[in-house]
Amino acid sequence: MQGKQYLQMLDDKLAASGKARHSASKYDFVKVKVWVGENLAHYYVLSRFLISRMLTVTKIPQMKAVKIALEVKKHLVDNDFMDISQDHFEAILFNVMRARGFGDDYVERYKMVTKFFQQRRPLIVLICGVPCTGKSTLAQQLASRLNMPNVLQTDAIYELMRMSEDGPLQPTPLWDRDDLSPGGLVREFLRECRIVRKGLDGSLFKCISDGKSIIMEGMHLDPSLYLYEFARFGQAHLKSGSLYNSDSNSAGAQRPDPASIPLEEGSSPSNAATEADDEEELKPGPVFVPIVLCMDDVDHELLVREWHACHAGAARDGEASGGPEERARSTLERLRVLQSHMCSYEQRCVPVVKVELANFNETLDRLHDYLLLCIQMAMEQDEADAHP
């Protein structure tokens, strides 16, 4: 009864505003077939949800994307366009987009991302950084904007490895290790990254072989362990200023040469990446986009102290290394050492993005723009390779 009462209450509210639930039912349940392929031999059933998701990829705000998708579906149903070609559908969609104020730039962006995803070409985004720099939040929101259902949190894998008996990792996390010098801390971090990388290879290369995009985020994503794949597939970087903060002094990033990239000690290209046959080499490779996040010292300290109070303090209550304040300070110092190391990859063409709490949405927009431009550059490179 509670469910029926809730639906009735919802109907009453919608009816009061002139939007009764049943009034839109014909647009929700009538199927429109869109024909594709050579000689229009195949079709798919149009989905308003998928239309709106693809529109958000082009940077159309979500609510306006939903309205555009509904308007397109209404136009098709009201004009009895139950079987249409992909070209016909896109012509209607683009007209509605332009009428809503989203002109040629958005149309071209839509065509680009549609072609990219139709190629089943995976976009592999690595969001690296120490704890409390916004990795998880940015990864989830970027995944929503870019219609990427797969987000892999490597911190969960690290925790499982760390807590397992006789595992390859120390049970004490790096930020609580007071037995390591700054240099030893970085070396231990690189060792742990190599171990975590082995645990990720299956998921990473399954996405590549299946043509699925994925965002991987976490602390133990040392970019150097992925730069070989990054260079091998020809991913070009943008010039400085497109992604970096306005006060960045970074030199323009250039496409790395695989032969010139120093791999970390003990690392090697995965067999899945090096043993591809000639036929696979002709296919467009995945677009790898590694990004390192950092944060303003004041904001980072605030978040680290809150995080430490919630997660790290109880683990060391019995130790003689000082009270909670001193332990939080020690944690922050170690994280800053690791953050400095990860930011050094800016010299090897890995962009470093400074996250500011007061301008978080601007950072999200900048990353969205950057990923779209990476896709565009990859598509343009394919075109240049096809017509040298």
- Block means of pLDDT (10 residues each) for the chain, length 388 residues? 46 47 60 86 89 94 94 92 93 96 95 89 92 92 90 89 82 87 93 90 84 91 74 41 38 37 40 43 74 90 82 48 74 92 88 89 93 91 79
338 with 189: CB under 8 angstroms?
A: yes
Residue 39: which domain range?
31-118
Residues 64 and 139 in one domain: no
239 and 277: one domain?
A: yes
The full DSSP string for 280-339 is HHTSPPPEEEEEEEEE-HHHHHHHHHHHIIIIISGGGTT-SS--HHHHHHHHHHHHHHHH
Residues 114 and 127 in one domain: no
Same domain, 225 and 349: yes
223: domain CATH number?
A: 3.40.50.300
pLDDT of residue 371: 94
Residue 225: per-residue pLDDT: 82
One domain, residues 71 and 165: no
In a domain, 10, yes or no: no
Domain boundary among 103, 118, 133: 118
How many angstroms separate the CA atoms of 30 and 23, rounded? 13
Question: Residue 322 has what pLDDT?
Answer: 59
Claim to verify: residue 131 and residue 104 sit in the same structural domain: no
Q: Assess if residue 141 is contained within a domain.
A: yes
- The reported pTM is 0.76
User: Angle between the 182-210 and 324-343 helix axes, to the nearest 10 degrees?
Assistant: 60
pLDDT of residue 276: 42
Task: Decide if 1 is inside a domain.
Answer: no
222 and 292, same structural domain?
Answer: yes
pLDDT at 200: 86
- Number of domains the chain is built from: 2
Supply the pLDDT for residue 53: 92
- Domain end: 81, 103, 118, which one? 118
Instruction: Please enumerate, as own/partner, the contacts of 204-212 that have beta carbons within 8 Å and a separation of 24 or more.
Output: 204/124, 205/270, 205/272, 205/273, 207/122, 207/124, 207/150, 207/286, 208/122, 208/124, 208/272, 208/286, 209/272, 210/120, 210/122, 211/119, 211/120, 211/121, 211/122, 212/120, 212/122, 212/150
First CA to last CA distance, the chain: 68
The domain boundary residue, chosen from 118, 143, 174: 118
Entry field: residues in the chain: 388
